[in-house]
Every structure is written in structure tokens, then in C-alpha cells.
Amino acid sequence: MEPLEDTLRRLREAFCAGRTRPAEFRAAQLRGLGRFLQDHKQQLQQALAQDLHKSDFESLVSEIVISQGEVDLALRNLRAWMKDERVSRNLATQLDSAFIRKEPFGLVLIVAPWNYPVNLTLVPLVGALAAGNCVVLKPSELSRSTEKVLAEELPRYLDPSCFAVVLGGPSETEQLLEHRFDYIFFTGSPRVGRIVMAAAAKHLTPITLELGGKNPCYVDDDCDPQTVANRVAWFRYFNSGQTCVAPDYVLCSPETRERLLPALQSAITRFYGDDPKSSPNLGRIINQKHFLRLQGLLRCGRVAIGGQSDESDRYIAPTVLVDVQDTEPVMQEEIFGPILPLVTVRSLDEAIDFINQREKPLALYAFSNSSQVVRQVLARTSSGGFCGNDGFMHMTLASLPFGGVACCHQLLSAQPSSHNAL
């Protein structure tokens, strides 16, 4: 295996030689990435099933289709994105040419997570390739089967002088971060994000941090409980809850909570049957460490629905908790699993105060038959993404870039793209 220093030197030399700048080269890399997705679709689905127990449908819609859509979007718009942007002139520049030129950063590091190990690896890669960068890709070591496919097959479809995959765990990632990159794109936990940001600061490297958080979901008293339950349960338990923009807790009145509970039970049964453990549509927790953490959260509050677990299968049932306290761990950390606390509030104002007293969430959801209520939640809170009367739909629109309040996705590619950072 080539030493890391030699790999980085090789990629930087290729960039400095201008190899990645022509539109034809960028398009060829994107087409190669598209062929990889087509040729290895079944292999990727099998890997995702081994890592996370994802069904073929789930891996298709949340991983492969999204990645292919990003490739297609970049190919359609590549030349337009690369064009100089003319700007208006003032009195002092009337005789000059004024324009904005979009240039690649150079050598880009992409550190990917395990929960959507195809989507959240390849979508940032599309932006980096389209913008004419050389790339070091670090897939997650926790999603081992998917990592193996990416490491063994993907390099065959991209130019080896401009692209490399680096494997390993935390120590290898730390070694990577000791080197200077021109841009770092990291998706993962706030804890590791702080480490990445500190390492980037040593070289003044621009960075995008895609971090999770606790995403509130406000449910008004006038809602149809079954409609809300269907939408919340589908997105909360998709990928076994291991989605950074999934609703992390529900805020509602005590009366609405009592109407929601049977509706949530009905939705869970409809989606996963009477025995969710045997359902082909319910994923598993990524590893034992995360399983044990989630099993501990089941002791918070009172289990109203579900609560069953099986360590040997890394299975945790779709669960609803009630009577949780603010100080309990389930309300202090991102859950990242199939557990949904219902927290009672007495009014819309109290719900908004509850949200604003905490860190700004990555995503926020509000359900109400009153558009005025939905607009109030939107106007009086701040979040990376907001969706009224639905979940997840704001993530599917190509015209809406996604990220946290302080996150700028479009820095890596020439234009904002249909980021689906789940």
C-alpha cells in the first residue's frame, strides 16, 4: 500500500498540473461515478443489508437513487456552473471587465459517516469532482461491507492520479487530519466535528461540518392524529432512526399526546407488522456500542409503545417514551435510534420557548391545520431546515440546499446542489 504522504503528494501534483480543471475531465469523472452506481447497484444493496439491515427499497431510495440523481444534476449543469459570472460595473470600472471566476479548492478531504454510507459519501464526492478538485475519500469503518465495496470498486471508475480512498478508524483519521488539505467535508457527530474543526484551524482550512442534533416536532391540537402519526413514524423509524434530520422528540399538549399514542401504535403496526423484529423493512443498529447506548435510553421516562430489544441481533423495537424529564439522557443527546419521546407543553408559546432554549436544530417540524401556527413556528425559531405538516419532504427538493444554521454546503461545488445530508 502506498504511504499516505506519497498519496497526498501525487494528488496535489496532479491538481497543480491542472489535470482536473477541464470540463471534459470533470464530466468523465462524473460519468465514471455514475457507471459505478449502475454496475454495483446489487453489490451496494447487499452491503447495506449486511451493515444496517436495509431493505432493497430503503437502500435504493435513500442511497443509490439520491447519489445517481446528484451525478445527473452535475452533468446537466456542469458547464453552466463553470462559466464566469458577469457582475455590474460602477463608475470607476466602466472600462474594465468585472466577473466572478469559480475555481476549485485543490485537494479535498471527505470524511463520511456510517448511517447512509453510500449517499453521504458519494454526494459530497459529486460536488468535489464537479468543481475540479482532487479528492481523498475516507469512508466510515463502522459500515464495513459498504466500505469494502467503495474501497475495492470505486477507484476503478475514477482517475487514480486525482482520487484515493483511505481506510481505517479514528487513529487513521487523526493521521489524515495532521496533513494540510484545501477543503475538508465532514459528516458525523458534534464530538468528532470539534476534533476535525480544531485540526482544520491549524492550517486555516475551510471546512463544512454536517452535524446532527435534536430535531423538535411540534404537533398542534387541531391535527388529525393518524395523519401526523403516519408521517412522524415513517421518518422517525426509517433506517431504524439513524437519520440526523429525523424528528428527535414531539412537543404537544397532554390531550394531543393521548390521541397520538394509539395512532402511533397503529402506524408502527401498519409499517412493520405485529412483530417488527421479523419485518424486512426495519433496520438494525450499526454496532453493539450504539446498541448499548440506545438500550440505556430506554430506561428514561416510561415506555408507552415498544421497548423490546435483542443485543444478539442489534434490534430495538420502534419505541415511544412518555413522562421523560429534561434532565434525562434521552433529552440531552441526539437519540439516533428508533426511540421517540413525547414531551407535553401547555401552549404554542411554551413549545417555541422550549425549542429556543436549546441548540439550534438541524431540522424542525410543525404540524397544524392552521397555516398561521406553522408560520409562527417558522418565524419565531431558527433551524437548518423546516417543514410544515410533513417530514423529510424538504430534503427531496433539488432547489433547496441543506445544512445547519452555520453550514455552507455550496462552498464545495460550483453551485448549491440537491444535498440530501440525512
Q: Which are the catalytic amino acids?
A: 210, 244
Q: CA 300 to CA 326: how far, in whole Å?
A: 10
Instruction: Answer whether 232's CB lies under 8 Å from 217's CB.
Output: yes
Q: Give counts: helices (H), strands (E), the chain.
A: 14, 16
Side chain identity at residue 145, one-letter code: S
Instruction: Answer whether 251's CB lies under 8 Å from 216's CB.
Output: yes
Which of these, 339, 10, 343, lies nearest to 161 by C-alpha position?
10
Instruction: Answer whether 267's CB lies under 8 Å from 229's CB.
Output: yes
Structure-block grid coordinates of residue 414:
460550483
**Cα of 364 vs its chain's centroid, Å:** 15
Could you list the beta-strand ranges (E) of 292-419. 302-305, 309-310, 315-316, 319-322, 339-344, 363-367, 385-388
Phi, psi for residue 207 in degrees, rounded to 5: -150, 145
Q: What is the dihedral of CA 274, 278, 283, 285, to 10 degrees?
A: 100
Whether the CA torsion 279, 282, 284, 286 is positive or negative: it is: positive
Tracing cell 475495492 back to the chain, one arrives at: 152
Q: CA 188 to CA 412: how far, in whole Å?
A: 17
Enter the DSSP assignment of 43: H
Transcribe 162-222 into DSSP letters: TEEE---SHHHHHHHHTS--SEEEEEE-HHHHHHHHHHHHHTT--EEEEE----EEEE-TT
Instruction: Answer whether 304's CB lies under 8 Å from 259's CB.
Output: no
Enter the DSSP assignment of 338: S
